[in-house]
Structure formats: C-alpha cells, structure tokens
Amino acid sequence: MNYWWDGFAAGPDSPYAAMLLAMIALAERPERERAAWRAYFDHYVFRPNGHPLAHLPEERHGVLGPLAKGNYGRIRTLVMRMLRGA
C-alpha cells in the first residue's frame, strides 16, 4: 500500500491511521452503504464544493469549525472515547 508521507502528521490522528480505521469500518460494507459514506466523506472531509457550512457564520459551524479554535481537541476526545468503547 502506498500513501503520501507527511512527516508532521504522525501518530493516532494521522491520515494513514484514519485510512486504516476506515478500512476496518467501511471496506466490507455493502456497496450502497459504502457509496453513502463516500458521499459523506466528500461533503464533510474533502469538500469539493467548498465548506459545507459556508452559508453560516463561523461561530455556528460547531465541530465543522476551524480545528485551531478548539475543535481539534473536541473531535479527538470524541474519537478516542468511541475507540475505547465508552
């Protein structure tokens, strides 16, 4: 498996770790379900049409707001709790 190396994005929240988690969470789901998740990832993560909440003020973006404004920690805490089964 090849992937682009980003020396600044290492550890449990690296893109590679996210891809591995996506593989066990999504890869063997039915095609229609994978297609739906692909659409979610495109819309919320890859954002080919821009930010999904661009029509709202930034303070209303919640977890889709800038990571530097506290969302990084909130999202990471949520994911770690989910991975621990809490």
Name the E strands within 1-86: none
Write the burial class of residue 1 (CB in 10 Å: 0-12 exposed, 13-18 middle, 19+ buried): exposed
Is there a contact between 52 and 44 (Cβ–Cβ < 8 Å)? yes
- The predicted-structure confidence for 2-31, as pLDDT tens digits, reads as follows 556 665 567 778 888 899 999 999 999 999
Q: How far apart are CA 62 and CA 27, in angstroms?
A: 29
Global confidence as pTM: 0.79
- The predicted-structure confidence for 23-66, as pLDDT tens digits, reads as follows 999 999 999 999 999 999 999 999 999 999 999 999 999 999 99
Is there a contact between 63 and 75 (Cβ–Cβ < 8 Å)? yes
